Structure 1
């Protein structure tokens, strides 16, 4: 590895740690969950195999091959990341999370609908994986990646969610958006307003789901505020 590549990996290590702690700080993961970022066509970096909010400054994640056996100590469900990266070269990051409202909706085989601005970012739909079991083998992880398809998000019945995006920042932000969409869905259902609540049209979603105005950057700044490794890249 060249000196330049080494510096780039160090930067990515810090960003993955910040992402992991942000997800923990905002209740999107707890003891379980993991996030990763692509290094190149053949490798990605996954966070340390422990509660994400407890990952320490300077604690290294593990470089994982996109194809092949997982390195020693890497969690079995990281195979989900592998299978998504194999199928979708445009994906730069995967987040496996356990958001509270997403989890609740998933037990009813429901996913949030695009009813507000944050929900509009899932205009391609949110997939449902109708199985509460852990996925620690290649066969199950492969089937889940196929179910995700070209979408950004998948809800696992009674088992959290998977979000995939072109960058680590976007994957983390979209995970927050997904949970907020689920929160809104739950509140609408609780208020008995499902029939009255408007679902955004495809054209409304396309117009609203913008990245202009530093939309993702500002949410990333909010989610990582106070992080011990927060600094300009």
Structure 2
């Protein structure tokens, strides 16, 4: 990928970072990244994502190997996903309120509404409250994620992986909402209510109708670099 293309991708990473902050999906902690090619990805600056400035440099990280100096230790989660899933184009580590609450209970959301179906067969659970800052824990956490696009980590929030960073941003919103629904079901005493089955979930989890693009537009509206953003089709050139 050429330098100009990397900068285009970096702009998308910055826009996603600020969107996560505005939506309350991250606070002081959290990070997002987008794949460059089979061997590299680009991660947002190591700072509160809402504070990422227009034009601020992102960091190129190898899919395999040590993290560059200054990159947060939990970016090993991103490395592991990109290594195991060649189709993954974007990863977000976030600590949103409902996901944090449900993860602290050691539970994951059932497929109760449309957004939840995007995590079939079920959201993964990493049942360890320690921060994931080494390769062994990263491997364990992503193994617990299984075939899902989402993972809850007990006491530590969530991770989602999408085919693009645009998709991952939508998935972060969806997972937070699925956790909200699950907590409401638990609070109401109706957690035993029927859930969406595998076949219906597969049909519902569509990408047609600009599903993820519209969520991207919603969450990034008003961003200072938004007019120059490329969206889902411009994030990868591999």
Band of TM-score, shorter chain: over 0.9
Q: 1:88 aligns with which of 85, 90, 111?
A: 85
Which structure carries more relative contact order (alpha carbon 8 Å, separation 6+)?
A: 2
Counterpart check, 1:150 vs 2:142: no
1:210 maps to what in 2?
206
Q: 2:169 aligns with which of 149, 172, 178?
A: 172
Q: With structure 1 as the length reference, what TM-score do the two structures score?
A: 0.95
Q: 1:221 aligns with which of 212, 217, 223?
A: 217
Any idea what the Cα deviations from partners look like across 1:84-112, whole Å, max 9, x if unmatched?
A: 11111111111100011111111111101
Shift of 1:16: 0.2
Cα distance in structure 1, aligned partners of 2:125 and 2:140:
12
Any idea what the Cα deviations from partners look like across 1:107-129, whole Å, max 9, x if unmatched?
A: 11110111111111112211100
Unpaired runs of 5+ residues, structure 1, are none
SS at match of 2:35: strand
Cα distance in structure 2, aligned partners of 1:124 and 1:5:
38
1:190 maps to what in 2?
187
SS at match of 1:37: strand
Counterpart check, 1:37 vs 2:5: no
Cα distance in structure 2, aligned partners of 1:39 and 1:108:
36
SS at match of 1:212: coil
Cα distance in structure 2, aligned partners of 1:218 and 1:161:
22
- Comparing 174-183 and 202-211, the one that deviates more: 202-211
Cα distance in structure 1, aligned partners of 2:184 and 2:194:
14
Off by >6 Å, runs of 4+ in structure 1: none
Cα distance in structure 2, aligned partners of 1:126 and 1:213:
24
Q: 1:231 aligns with which of 203, 214, 227?
A: 227
Q: With structure 2 as the length reference, what TM-score do the two structures score?
A: 0.93
Shift of 1:227: 0.6
Any idea what the Cα deviations from partners look like across 1:41-92, whole Å, max 9, x if unmatched?
A: 1100000000000001111110001111111110111111111111111111
